[in-house]
Structure 1
Amino acid sequence: MKWQSFSLNRGIVFLSLVVLGLVLVSNHHLGYSFGDSIFRALGLPPWSEQGNHGLHISAITGIFLLIAGYLGATIYYLPRYRKIRSRIIIGCIAFVWLSPIVSEYAMFILKYNSTGIRSVAYSLKDSQCSFQTYENNRVHANCSLTLYNYGNQPTITLRPVTDNHPEIVFQPETFFVSPHSRVTINKEFIAVPDKELNFSGWSRVTKYEIEASGETKIVE
């Protein structure tokens, strides 16, 4: 009886590893993985280098757990359930596909009555900026970004932030946003640095300083 209980628990452990691995590697609706959010909440860096560069530690951990759980569950259940491999694979595909959809709806429900900075989120997906320096040392940033207003925040003020060039401080712009909405913003931001420089380039991963109801946060 004890051996049967241990054997059953071992099967549950393998399936739990599969689920945990899926959570770490799956993306939510903001364009980055749940693993990144979990690692940051635990005070751990999800990437080996700053600015989301280097080795993606949370994803590597998730893949390792997913493989270990899949192999263990297959070996354990295969003698009794011949379709266990296809069932796990189909379940993994469904989990990854549904994750961003479920997370988006969940946030709108959980933060339906929120205001201020808690109501606002920045989506990494489909967001980008191009930078160019023009006459009179004016730096222009043509940005396209997606924002979520989960609750009832009426206005959002934001500006792009460049880590490598702290002397470039873009003027913030204020936008009116509908409650409980997902909006795409296309806007040109302007900065006039104190010293002359020639700054140009393109970036899909851009930091923004967002202000709502007197509260400010940096998102990327």
Structure 2
Amino acid sequence: MIFISAAIIGLVLLPINHLGNSVGDDLFRWIGISPWAQGDRYGFHLPVILGSLLLIFGTIGVVNIYRPQYPKIMSRLILGYIAIMLIFPFVTEQLFFLTKFNSTSISSVAYSKKESQCNYSSEGKQVKAVCKLNIYNYGKLEQATIRPIMNGWLVPTEFKPKVVTLHPQSQTFLNEVFYGEQIEDTERQGSGSGIGLEIEVNGYKKKFE
């Protein structure tokens, strides 16, 4: 039983949802632990390490116990794991659209870092960012206030929030321009992916970092 439990827990931690986050990431953040050993997306990815070890341990144990009765159990388990990993993003996406179909609260909108990026330039303390943002609106929300979060910048920058129009029940790539201010006078330009986003709806805020 311990091997089956270990394999199941490992399999729960590893799959990636449609937003590009693993279930393990969300569970770690929910209990107040960073999924990364060193801050945001730096160091060892703890849920992946833990999930992989549990899955390997559980699979070896299950195979050793049941192989005499089911000679092909190893190949069947591996195919099952691959199938779960492949269909999980589609299942989570459809589940969110189904359960939040009529919602107009902040819970009905989400942001994915996948395929999102910003091109930025600065002059003095003024910063301009031209961004493509991957937004999910699962329900019937029509507007939200958003601003990019770029914690990885060498010079901290605060962008001004902007009100955007959302399409109901859809995934949309928003192309928006944001203006902000950095704490030091410096001139630079470039582009970045993995951009975070703050979303505000009716006074409630949610950050995707």
Q: TM over 0.5, yes or no?
A: yes
Write out per-residue CA displacement over residues 73-108 of structure 1, whole angstroms, 9 at most, x where no aligned residue: 111111110110111011000000011011111111
Q: Distance in 2 between matches of 1:219 and 1:98?
A: 23
Give structure 1 regions of 4+ aligned residues with deviation exceeding 6 angstroms: none
Contact 1:139–1:199 at 8 Å: present in 2 too? no
Which of residues 140, 165, 182 in structure 2 aligns to 1:176?
Answer: 165
Task: List gaps (5 residues or longer) in structure 2.
Answer: none
Instruction: Give the match for residue 130 of structure 1.
Output: 119
Match of 1:196 among 185, 193, 207: 185
Same amino acid, percent of matched pairs: 39
1:87 and 1:65 map into 2 onto residues whose CA distance is 18
Letter of the 2:133 partner, please give it. Answer: L
Once the two structures are superposed, the pairs formed by residues 66-85 of structure 1 within 5 Å of their partners are 66-85=55-74
Q: Does 1:54 align with 2:43?
A: yes
CA-CA distance at 1:36 after TM superposition: 0.3
Shift of the 199–160 alpha-carbon distance from structure 1 to 2, 3 Å rule, reads farther
Higher alpha-carbon Rg: 1
Structure 1 residue runs without a partner (length 5+): 1-9
How many residues get paired? 207
Aligned counterparts of 1:24 and 1:153: Cα–Cα separation in 2: 31
Checking the alignment, whether the CA contact within 8 Å between 1:148 and 1:181 is kept in structure 2 is: yes
The CA deviation string for residues 40-97 of structure 1, in whole angstroms up to 9 with x for no partner, is 1122221111112111011100000010011111111111101101110110000000
Which one has a larger percent helix, Structure 1 or Structure 2? Answer: 1
Q: Give 3-state SS (helix, strand or coil) of 1:144's partner.
A: strand
Residue 178 (structure 1) shift: 1.7
Aligned partner letter, 2:117: Q
Distance in 1 (CA, whole Å) between partners of 2:106 and 2:203 is: 8
Structure 2: distance between partners of 1:75 and 1:193: 59
Match of 1:153 among 129, 141, 148: 141
The whole-number CA distance in structure 2 between the counterparts of 1:200 and 1:20 is 44
Distance in 1, matches of 2:28 and 2:125, equals: 40
Name which of structure 1's ranges 207-216 and 25-34 shifts more when overlaid on structure 2: 207-216
- Provide the C-alpha distance between the structure 1 equivalents of 2:161 and 2:70, rounded to a whole number of angstroms: 59
Q: What TM-score do you get using the length of structure 2 for normalisation?
A: 0.91
1:16-165 matches, cutoff 5 A:
16-134=5-123, 137-163=125-151, 164=153, 165=155
For residue 204 of structure 1, report the CA deviation from its aligned partner: 1.6
Stretch deviating more after TM superposition (190-199 or 168-177)? 190-199
What value does the CA root-mean-square deviation take over the aligned residues? 1.8
Letter of the structure 1 residue corresponding to residue 132 of structure 2: S
Per-residue CA deviations over 1:134-178 (Å, capped at 9, x if unaligned) read 4x6531112111111111211021111233544x32222221112
Q: CA deviation at 1:201?
A: 3.7
| Residues 199 and 207 in structure 2, CA contact (< 8 A), matched pair in contact too | yes
Rounded Cα–Cα distance in structure 2 between residues aligned with 1:75 and 1:162: 48
